[in-house]
Amino acid sequence: MPTIDQLKKLRIGVIDGGMSNERDVSLRTGAAVTKALREAAYDVVEIDMQRDLAARLTAEKVQIAFIALHGRYGEDGCVQGLLEAMGLPYTGSGVLASSVGMEKVFTKQVFVARGIPTPQHKVFTTSDEALEGPLPFPFPVVVKPSREGSSVGVHIAKDATAYRDAVLDAAKYPGLILVEQFIKGREVQGAVLDDEALGVIEIVPAREFYDHEAKYGANSGTQYIFPARLEPELYARVNQICLQAHQALGCSGATRSDAIVTERGDIYLLEVNTLPGMTATSLLPKIAQGKGISFTQLCERLLCGASLKA
């Protein structure tokens, strides 16, 4: 693993933007990372990922890639595979962990196989299939496209009419349609950095749930409480489950996992984010800050972990 002094002698390429529905969030992540690294005296170039990415990286003489992408083509293993083929070390998880983590259906299969608690769910290939028969669990249910992040296309359906509308919307996106049993409880998220559980933050959205508007909307009213208001034993269990999920998928660098904690103290893991956001409202930096790790230090920790994984 290179030292900070060695890294400052290398050309760092922060890859952001891209072609997914999360492009705007990615640009904000990339801008924040670029600013922090430049202020810390790193040689940084910010690169908006398009289909000429390989040529751009070569032209800019990039030696290490800091991936600040979200969504398809960036969080799903595509860019990681390109960087492996180019022999260019990069931050975050490798091809396999990234692709499995991005596909919520495969993530669920890993959770079930490894005994990680997750809500009951049903998977459909088409909207017609999702609408043709009764579900194995009652309303309300959560409907989501299987390959989107940042709560894009996610709906809570409380009745058959809302369910139909949610399914038709989810079907607009690539991948499968995932329908989950709705679990009522506290929304919490746990972060892992370099195979160490950092802590758990609690989210109190002003809206019905922590959707895209609650995450990124100006003055959304969402509150973030760190550490999460959980009993010490329960807090430790959430930390352990998030670390277990990180390791089960074979992740590297940082991950952030979404979970629900019920009044009875049951924990349900929803998904793992292999490239957590690094914007002003992102939760990984908030958790790290609560542990005494500044934003710049967090960026440096991720940069120090850059490597080839294949």
CATH code of the domain covering residue 167: 3.30.1490.20
- Active site annotation includes 22: yes
Backbone angles phi, psi at 57, to 5 degrees: -65, -40
Instruction: Decide if 8 contacts 264 (C-beta within 8 A).
Output: no
> For residue 219, what pLDDT is reported?
63
Give the number of residues written for the chain: 310
**Whole-number Å distance between alpha carbons of 122 and 267:** 19
> For residue 21, what pLDDT is reported?
85
Residue 74: give its domain's CATH number: 3.40.50.20
Does 307 reside within a domain? Answer: no
Residue 246: give its domain's CATH number: 3.30.470.20
Does 82 reside within a domain? Answer: yes
Does 310 reside within a domain? Answer: no
- Claim to verify: residue 113 and residue 243 sit in the same structural domain: yes
Q: In which domain, by residue range, is 213 found?
A: 101-117+184-297
* Identified catalytic residue from 271, 282, 300, 305: 271
Does 241 reside within a domain? Answer: yes
- Claim to verify: residue 259 and residue 214 sit in the same structural domain: yes
Place of tokens 């390791």: 247
- Active site annotation includes 219: no
* Identified catalytic residue from 92, 94, 149, 277: 277
- Among residues 156, 181, 206, the one where a domain terminates is 181
Instruction: Decide if 202 contacts 186 (C-beta within 8 A).
Output: yes
> For residue 103, what pLDDT is reported?
94
- Edge-to-edge strand ranges of the sheet holding 155-157: 121-124, 177-181, 141-145, 155-157
Task: List the one residue out of 202, 258, 205, 206 whose CA is nearest residue 235.
Answer: 202
* Identified catalytic residue from 13, 17, 22, 190: 22
- Claim to verify: residue 208 and residue 175 sit in the same structural domain: no
- Active site annotation includes 21: no
Instruction: Decide if 234 contacts 171 (C-beta within 8 A).
Output: no
Q: Over its length of 310 residues, how does the chain's per-residue pLDDT go in tens digits?
A: 788 999 999 999 999 999 998 899 999 999 999 999 999 999 999 999 999 999 999 999 999 999 999 988 999 999 999 999 999 999 999 999 999 999 999 999 999 999 999 999 999 999 999 999 899 999 999 999 998 876 788 999 999 999 999 999 999 998 999 999 999 999 999 999 999 999 999 999 876 655 555 555 556 678 999 999 999 999 999 999 999 999 999 999 999 999 999 999 999 999 999 999 998 779 999 999 999 999 999 999 999 999 999 8
**Whole-number Å distance between alpha carbons of 49 and 74:** 9
Domain count, the chain: 3
What sign results for the dihedral spanned by CA atoms 121, 142, 72, 309?
negative
- Claim to verify: residue 163 and residue 194 sit in the same structural domain: no
